[in-house]
Structure 1
Amino acid sequence: MATELKLDSKLDLAFERTTSLPVEKIWKGWTDPETLMKWFCPKPWKVTECRIDLRPGGEFYTLMQGPEGEIVPNNGCLLEVVENKKLVWTNMMTQDFRPMVTDSMGFPLVATLLLTKTEKGTFYQAIVRHADEEGRKKHEAMGFKEGWGLAFDQLVDLMKS
C-alpha cells in the first residue's frame, strides 16, 4: 500500500502499521480532544490539554507533560481534513493559517496522517516532512519511530476497550 506522498529519505520520517480497528475509531482517536489526551504521548508522558478545531485553518494544540514536570506545548494548524481518511497539520502556523515565529519542537514540520480502509481494518500511515536534514535528524533522535509506535499501541488499546 503505497503512500500518495513522495518521500525524501533526507527530509521525511514515516511510520506505518495495520490494525483490525475500523478507520472511524482511529479517526475519532485523532480528532476528539478527550480521546486524544488518553493516548497521544508514550507513557509516562501525558497530554494535559488538547484543542482541535477540525477544519482547514483550525487549531491543533496539545500540552504534553513529562514525568519530571517537563512541559511541552505544541501549537499547530490543520491544513487538510478529509474525514476518516486524511489529516494534515503543521507547527509552522497557528489557527487561521497565522505564521509563527518559532515552534515548540525546535524544528518546523508538516505531518500527514493517512487512513486506508482494508478488508480487515485499517492501514495507518504517518508521514512527517521536515524543512531540513537537521530537523529530521533531531526528530529521529528524539525517538520518532519508537514514540509513534508506543502511542499507536496506546491508541489501539484504548479504542478496543
Structure 2
Amino acid sequence: MTTYTANPELDLVLERTVDVAPELVWRAWTTPELIKQWFAPKPWSTTACEIDLQPGGRFDTTMRSPEGEEYPSSGCILVAEEGRTLVFTSALGAGFRPQVSEDGFPFTAVVRIEPDGDGTKYTAIAIHADASAKKSHQEMGFHEGWGAALDQLVEVMKAH
C-alpha cells in the first residue's frame, strides 16, 4: 500500500469520515460518469472526464464555471491501488509526459480510502512544490472546495 506523510509546510490535507462504504468512494473517484456528478463544487460543474486507471494513464476533467467558461485540466495517474489509494498529478500528462500546468501551479493529489465501521476514512492530500503554491491553492479555497465536492460525492453515492 502506498503511504505518504503530509508535509505541513507544503501540503494541504482534508480528512473526514463519511457515511459511504469504501468501495463506493473508490467507484466515485474512478468512474467518469460519476465524477461528472460530484467533482466540481456547486455551482460549478464537471462537463467532461476521461480516466485510464493505471499508472501513466490519463486523469482529465473539464470544469464549467457558473458563467459558462470551461476549464480543462489534464493529469496523469501515478498510483491506482484498487479500493485504497489513487494518486494523480497535474505536473504530468498521460504517459508520464511532463506538461505545463494551466492553473499556475502543478500539484499531486493523494486520495486514501480506508474502512471505518460502515463508512470510510477519507484523506485527500494536495502536494505542492513550494510554500507559495500551497498558499495559492489554499487561497483558491482548497478546504471549502474539496470539502463541498466530498459532500457531493457522498450524496451521489448514497443514491447508488
Q: So what's the TM-score if we normalise by structure 1?
A: 0.95
2:30 corresponds in structure 1 to 31
> Which of 135, 145, 158 does residue 137 from structure 1 map onto?
135
Identity of aligned residues (%): 46
Could you report, residue by residue, the CA deviation over 1:56-95 in whole angstroms, capped at 9, with x for unpaired residues? Answer: 0000000001011222111100000001000000101111
Query: How many matched pairs?
Result: 158
1:103 corresponds in structure 2 to 101
User: Aligned equivalents of 1:141 and 1:45: distance in 2?
Assistant: 17
2:19 corresponds in structure 1 to 20
Computed over aligned residues only, the root mean square deviation of the Cα atoms, in angstroms, reads 1.2
* AA in 1 matched with 2:117: E
Gapped regions of structure 1 (runs ≥ 5): none
User: Aligned equivalents of 2:116 and 2:147: distance in 1?
Assistant: 20
User: How far did 1:105 drift?
Assistant: 1.6
SS across alignment from 1:153: helix
User: How far did 1:131 drift?
Assistant: 0.4
SS across alignment from 2:38: coil
User: How far did 1:4 drift?
Assistant: 3.8
Could you report, residue by residue, the CA deviation over 1:75-126 in whole angstroms, capped at 9, with x for unpaired residues? Answer: 10000000100000010111111111x1122101111000001223110000
List 4+ stretches of structure 1 deviating above 6 A.
none
1:53 corresponds in structure 2 to 52
User: How far did 1:21 drift?
Assistant: 1.0
2:121 corresponds in structure 1 to 123
Gapped regions of structure 2 (runs ≥ 5): none
